[in-house]
Structure 1
Amino acid sequence: MQGVPKTPLRLAASLTAAAALTLGGGLASAQPAWGPLAPPNPFLGPVGTSTMHGDAGSSDATPLAGPGAGKLGVQSYSLLAACPTLLQGSDRMVVALCTAVLGQTPTVHLIDPASGGSKAKLELAKGSLLGGVYAYLDNENRLVAVDGNRKLQRIGHTADSLFVDETVDLSGAVPDGDAVTGLVPDWQGNVWFATGGGVIGSVDSSGVARTVRVPQGEQVQNSISSSPDGVSVATTHALYQLSRGGDGTPEIDWRRAYDRGSARKPGQLSWGTGSTPTYFGPASGYEYVAMVDNADTRVNLLVHRTDNGAEVCKIPVLGSGGPGSENSPIGVGNSVFVAGTYGYPYPKVPEGAGPAVPASAPFAGGMTRVDLDGAGCHQVWDTNVRSSAVPHLSTADGNLYTVLREGTGGPLDGYTFAAIDPATGEVRGRTSMPGTTANDTLQMSALISAEGDYWQGTITGIQRVGQGAGSGSLGGGSLDLGSSGSSGS
């Protein structure tokens, strides 16, 4: 692993998960019962808060403690934008990548964690629906994203401003009309990206991009993940692991096809898996990679070995829910948690997604825990909870956090913050969240902050749940529910 000078910003990125638990402000100092987590990527920001899924491996597990299951307050902040990406730097400032309701322009907001107010905003060039969703914070607290002009932007901030610190033109690597849907750094500091059209590339420190294409017809509609062993990409047909060849060109280490079903399902944004691949494991924290397929009658959790792609297990999940998941699984230690999204009423799907079969269905939800064992894997529990956000597991306090959708799938549905016992699947605590579908959490991913708060993007802004959060809202505005769509997959 390439060394990195430990400036104050980089030090936060290189902390081990155990050390991160001692920093205070909602963290726990005890050794977590869940884990281990993979070693921190030295080119990312703080552990647990620098990517949508918590880390480079998209584990959706964090060493930070959340707000718990007791009495909590909720604060709403209207930004007139859907906010699928909420990140926090070592300076505790929250950086949100949102999509404006009017015009669908990707907009970066700098959020003061104390007040929740937007201190500054910066608009990016508009691309595809899922372009401008996936981004990360690097080890200098810069937001790394690719805009609609195919420019890799590193966006820095001060206490009250945002600025473009560095730009790399990817127009020679990303075809005209295509867009980057996922990006992540590897353990040598190269920035990997994947496009909707199936181009996978890496950008080195000098700004040179080298690419490889997956077979014609395969698309990448979710983000990508990395571990010290390689980079994992799930297309609409297969799961891949890649690494850099001698000249820096991406090479495919292995490819494993999966059952993509006969059509896109309601509650899915593409015809194929909805998973960002999840690295996890009981020894190194990344010896396995997991995803969920799109089989017609009941979907399966698939677990492969990272080193050679061998199948560890294939097991049906979401028996109490519906046959589909648009979310990345949680992976930690020997355990994987899958949340169902079948029938979720997204207001919009990406262009070219194709018709859903059936055209619509009630939102079924469901959640399943699967554990690996010596013979493969087995189901531990299966429930019918209807998660409307990407769940996150805190290894510090032993809670699985998400938002539940309450109702029949109509415009008057309500939302409830929930802390779930990962050992049993039972809901330990609930806190009502204000609003109806104007506050739809739209299966977006949350941020568990260093202060122990739960920040959740909604279709119109952000809601913050915590022991110190008051009840109320800031700002206001109207929303056309037919104009926006986002994913936290």
Structure 2
Amino acid sequence: MGGRRDSVTVQYVLFRSLRVVAAAAFLGSVLAVPASASPAPPQNPALGSNGLSTMHGDSASSDTTPFAGPGTGPVESRRIPLGAACPTVLQGGDGFPQALCTKIVGRAPVAFLLDPATGEPVASLDLPKGSLLGGVYAYLDERDRMVAVDGNGDLLRIAHDRNGEDGAWRLFVEHRTPLDHVVSEHCGSAHCDSVTSLMPDFAGRVWFATGDAVVGFVDPRTGAVATTRLPEGERVDNSISTAPEGVAVTTSHAQYLLDGTDAPRVVWRQPYDRGPARKPGQLSWGSGATPTFFGPRTGTEYLAITDNAAEKENLIVYKTGSGALVCSIPVSDGTENSPIGVGGSVFVANTYGYPYPATPEGAGSSDPAWAPFTGGMSKVDVRDDGCDISWTNEVRSAAVPRFAGDGLIYTSERTRLGGFRYVAIDPNTGAVVNSHPTGFGFFADTLQMVGTITQDRVLYQGTVSGILRIAPK
């Protein structure tokens, strides 16, 4: 990172470095006991630390973190109003959280750099508006730069430093790679399609997927871009995931594993039951899940999604290498969330009926048009020859849950009276072991966004209008 640091920042970074070592050691002691809690997916060398560098924690989208959360003791929550919905909060190796948000007015994306001590913004950068999901998915690379695609179709690496005589922080575009011209070749005109998600593979290539199911990658060494088009009529409305075995892409019709050196190549494709229509509490017609790599041996030998079957949606688990079906089990009325995958267990939160204030363009009507939000979360234990539901609770999760290094699951719950509360859940039983009210109404709504746990046991939870900072007292 460029620029100068004052002594307070240096002390903070040194302190944070010690916390990283301690957290890693603690994770090993906690997760070595239950087989369902290890190992974690391997560290992607093109990313920052696992647990901090992607919306879903790592390139495998496991929704786990090696760092301990706020815990079961007293906590304090603080609302940071930003005038924007903030689904992605990440933290670099320098300790500074970074957020990619979408403004309430105009719905254009904006990046924020946050003070690690308070969560208050110290710098921001407005980005060109594109599709709704274009202001959602981003990651931090190994140099703490935010990598995102803007509304012009440019792949950006956004750095930060202290600029000028006053030492003020700034965010700036350090590198730009145009993508729109190669994406538009598949649909015939400029800006006719847009990138919805991106993730680096283990060789450093930056893979991306568009709404119309164009999948490609950028070679950062040469700037070369290669693409392929998945079958006509399929869409990509969630993030993609990567593991040493390849790149997982879930479309509105099927699950794919791809790889490739010179061009993207489909390794296997497995169609799933996409149901008759979009369900209430979902943002697209098809699977609402980002694909999740997990497994008890390598951390990536399985790949999980949920389908969109009528009545009950199924958790589907494939063998990563071959695409062979491990199991398909009814687990939810409907979900828009990525499942947690840790060791031999998967946790699925039910979002059926969640009252989103808006849906992306082209999402279509839901069937039924409305349903009550009932919530509930289930744990599924996976074996090589099948899977079983271990427990189901009644937690009305209003965020993407996160499995933390202290052995607890953290999320935000929407109460039946319209309020929201922080909750910590015992993954062995599904019981709530801690809770704390965080507010009421629109401005407290966590809108099924992800909470990120930093190295300092702080939970940054995106809301409709900003970020909640939840920390131990």
* Residue pairs, 1:335-414, within 5 angstroms: 335-394=345-404, 396-407=405-416, 413-414=418-419
Equivalent of 2:231 in 191, 215, 218: 215
Q: Is the 8 A contact 2:19 2:456 kept in 1?
A: no
What stretches of structure 2 of length at least 5 have no aligned partner? 1-16, 32-36, 163-168, 185-190
State the 1:28 CA deviation.
2.8
Q: Which residue does 2:290 correspond to in 1?
A: 276
Q: Which residue does 2:21 correspond to in 1?
A: 23
> Which amino acid is the alignment partner of residue 28 of structure 1?
F
Q: How far apart are the structure 2 equivalents of 1:23 and 1:436?
A: 39
Q: Which residue does 1:118 correspond to in 2?
A: 121
Q: How far apart are the structure 1 equivalents of 2:24 and 2:252?
A: 39
Q: How far apart are the structure 1 equivalents of 2:395 and 2:452?
A: 21
Residue-by-residue CA offset, 1:151-205 (whole Å, 9 max, x unaligned): 0000001151101000000012222221111100000000000000110001102
Q: How far apart are the structure 2 equivalents of 1:374 and 1:144?
A: 36
* Match status 1:98 vs 2:96: no
State the 1:36 CA deviation.
0.4
Q: How far apart are the structure 2 equivalents of 1:117 and 1:333?
A: 36
Secondary structure in structure 2 of the residue aligned to 1:61:
coil
Equivalent of 1:327 in 328, 334, 337: 337
State the 1:29 CA deviation.
5.8
> Which amino acid is the alignment partner of residue 363 of structure 1?
F
Q: How far apart are the structure 1 equivalents of 2:142 and 2:268?
A: 30
> Which amino acid is the alignment partner of residue 298 of structure 2?
S
Question: C-alpha root-mean-square deviation of aligned residues, in Å?
Answer: 1.5
Q: Which residue does 1:201 correspond to in 2?
A: 216
> What TM-score does the superposition give when structure 1 sets the normalisation length?
0.88
Q: Which residue does 1:229 correspond to in 2?
A: 245
Q: How far apart are the structure 2 equivalents of 1:30 and 1:425?
A: 22
Q: How far apart are the structure 2 equivalents of 1:419 and 1:257?
A: 35
Q: How far apart are the structure 2 equivalents of 1:178 and 1:20?
A: 45
Equivalent of 1:315 in 310, 324, 329: 329
* Match status 1:443 vs 2:448: yes
* Residue pairs, 1:164-313, within 5 angstroms: 164-175=173-184, 176-205=191-220, 206-245=222-261, 248-313=262-327
Residue-by-residue CA offset, 1:85-141 (whole Å, 9 max, x unaligned): 000000000100000111111000000110211101001110011112000000010
Q: Is the 8 A contact 1:27 1:65 kept in 2?
A: no
Q: Is the 8 A contact 1:292 1:299 kept in 2?
A: yes
Q: How far apart are the structure 2 equivalents of 1:288 and 1:30?
A: 22
> Which amino acid is the alignment partner of residue 83 of structure 2?
L
* Structure (1/2) with the larger helix percentage: 2
Q: How far apart are the structure 2 equivalents of 1:228 and 1:391?
A: 25
Q: Which residue does 1:431 correspond to in 2?
A: 436
> Which amino acid is the alignment partner of residue 339 of structure 1?
A
* Residue pairs, 1:15-94, within 5 angstroms: 23-24=21-22, 28=26, 30-33=28-31, 34-94=37-97
Secondary structure in structure 1 of the residue aligned to 2:468:
strand
Q: How far apart are the structure 2 equivalents of 1:104 and 1:207?
A: 30
Q: Is the 8 A contact 2:19 2:455 kept in 1?
A: no
State the 1:31 CA deviation.
2.2
> Which amino acid is the alignment partner of residue 111 of structure 1?
L
Q: Which residue does 2:11 correspond to in 1?
A: none
Pair 1:185–1:360, CA change in 2 (3 A): same
> What TM-score does the superposition give when structure 2 sets the normalisation length?
0.91
Q: Which residue does 2:165 correspond to in 1?
A: none
State the 1:26 CA deviation.
10
Q: How far apart are the structure 1 equivalents of 2:470 and 2:363?
A: 34
State the 1:374 CA deviation.
4.7
Secondary structure in structure 1 of the residue aligned to 2:30:
coil
Q: How far apart are the structure 1 equivalents of 2:274 and 2:95?
A: 41
> Which amino acid is the alignment partner of residue 277 of structure 1?
P
Q: Is the 8 A contact 1:21 1:63 kept in 2?
A: no
Q: Is the 8 A contact 1:50 1:138 kept in 2?
A: yes
> Which amino acid is the alignment partner of residue 41 of structure 2?
A
Q: Is the 8 A contact 1:26 1:452 kept in 2?
A: no
State the 1:22 CA deviation.
5.0
Residue-by-residue CA offset, 1:384-431 (whole Å, 9 max, x unaligned): 21100000001x2110000000126xxxx1001000000010101111
Pair 1:374–1:226, CA change in 2 (3 A): closer
Secondary structure in structure 1 of the residue aligned to 2:443:
helix
Q: Is the 8 A contact 2:326 2:384 kept in 1?
A: no
What stretches of structure 1 of length at least 5 have no aligned partner? 1-18, 469-489
